[in-house]
Amino acid sequence: MSVAGLEPRHRYRREARRLRSRLSGKPDELYGSLRQLSDRYDRLYPLPGRTPATPTEGFANLVRHEVCAGVLPYSNRLGLLTTAGKLGIGRFEANLIIASVQHRYMPLDGDAEPPRQRVSDRLVSLLIFLLAQTTIVLLAWLAFARA
């Protein structure tokens, strides 16, 4: 099962475990990262008993639920725009809300580290460098030995 298919509470626990293992020796960074993770999930999945204060907030919650599933298909976007019209939200404002929610909540893997260079790549680079330096020294020695 993919990570996107998991329930939010399972995704949260999974990400929290990864943070705890990665930052086990750095309590300050761990606390900050767990706080950011918690805040992000609180925004993504508000408590069920709380009702939105404004129609735009309610519409933003609808968009969040659509975006959480992954990519927002065009047909779903059109459905959201229709819903926004029924809520009294203009098309332009609805598109702004959709864009801002996508920008804020789409990357659930924001904590991913950049790919590291493999040891074998470093070794190959070092060997090429040493081969080039050896060739230069050998050619210089031959040039001075014949002179």
Answer for the pair 8, 45: CB distance below 8 angstroms, yes or no. Answer: yes
Share of the chain above pLDDT 70, in %: 77
More confident residue, 33 or 147: 33
Q: Residue 131 above 90 pLDDT?
A: yes
Confidence of residue 115 (pLDDT cuts 50, 70, 90): low
Q: What pTM did the predictor assign?
A: 0.42
> Using CA atoms, how far apart are residues 30 and 35, in angstroms rounded to an integer?
8
Of 6-10, 21-25, 50-54, 133-137, least confident by mean pLDDT is: 50-54
Domain ranges of the chain: 3-116, 117-147
Confidence of residue 1 (pLDDT cuts 50, 70, 90): very low
Q: Rounded to 5, what percent of the chain is helix, strand, coil?
A: 70, 0, 30
